[in-house]
Structure 1
């Protein structure tokens, strides 16, 4: 993998790379939501706990496919409230390498499949 956090001519970044090139087997992880292994919603009205559960779910999914956070090349993040952005960044930074962050997109959405969910994240990684 090659990370190009801020190629000349592109705006500043905050915890992501503008471009990541890679080769190898691609792993696509479906959008993970704040539910535990029993299907229970986690962290109702607590965006930090919801985000942590989503990253825990991503970690399990990546491991099942033979990958990990160090091999994530792209995250797509869906937040229902942009006031949760700082919390998302805090938790994300606990899981991802600051020196080689993945490419990333962040979208504010009106709602997710369960109205109590505040965050959903999907990932692309390599093996």
Structure 2
């Protein structure tokens, strides 16, 4: 892996099933940036989109974008996402919003987990990230 290929995506290696918006594996070198789980609150700590999965997911991606920028990174530098949804009925909304934020040529590895609840019962989503610079 050279400096020009510091992140390499293995979207669908031979023998693995089809993917929907993620890579099966991502190899990378460089400085790592770990972003804590982001939740659907604005800069004043107010819940965004109570009961609205799309609005909450958009806010989470905006928060991820801001946290990454503070470390000199962008969503294109993300090599791994971990997504926590309280309701799998929100999966389509997640995919649609995610696809508007992530570059199609640089899809991170991703885990998605349904959870019984998050720190605030009104939160429908939390996402953490690992990026490589």
TM range (shorter): over 0.9
CA RMSD of aligned residues (A): 0.5
Alpha-carbon displacement from aligned partner over 1:86-118 (angstroms, at most 9, x marks no partner): 000011001101122000000000000000000
- Equivalent pairs counted in the alignment come to 127
* Unaligned runs of at least 5 residues, structure 2: 1-6
Alignment partner for residue 108 of structure 2, among 93, 102, 107? 102
Deviation at 1:81, TM superposition (A): 0.3
Find out whether 1:52 has 2:49 as its counterpart. no
Deviation at 1:9, TM superposition (A): 1.1
Alignment partner for residue 5 of structure 1, among 6, 11, 29? 11
Give the TM-score normalised by structure 2. 0.94
1:1-127 maps to which residues of 2 (within 5 A)?
1-127=7-133
Distance in 1, matches of 2:28 and 2:94, equals 25
The structure 1 segments of at least 4 consecutive aligned residues displaced by more than 6 Å after TM superposition are none
Distance in 2, matches of 1:27 and 1:100, equals 17
* Unaligned runs of at least 5 residues, structure 1: none
Alpha-carbon displacement from aligned partner over 1:41-65 (angstroms, at most 9, x marks no partner): 1100000000000000000000000
Give the TM-score normalised by structure 1. 0.99
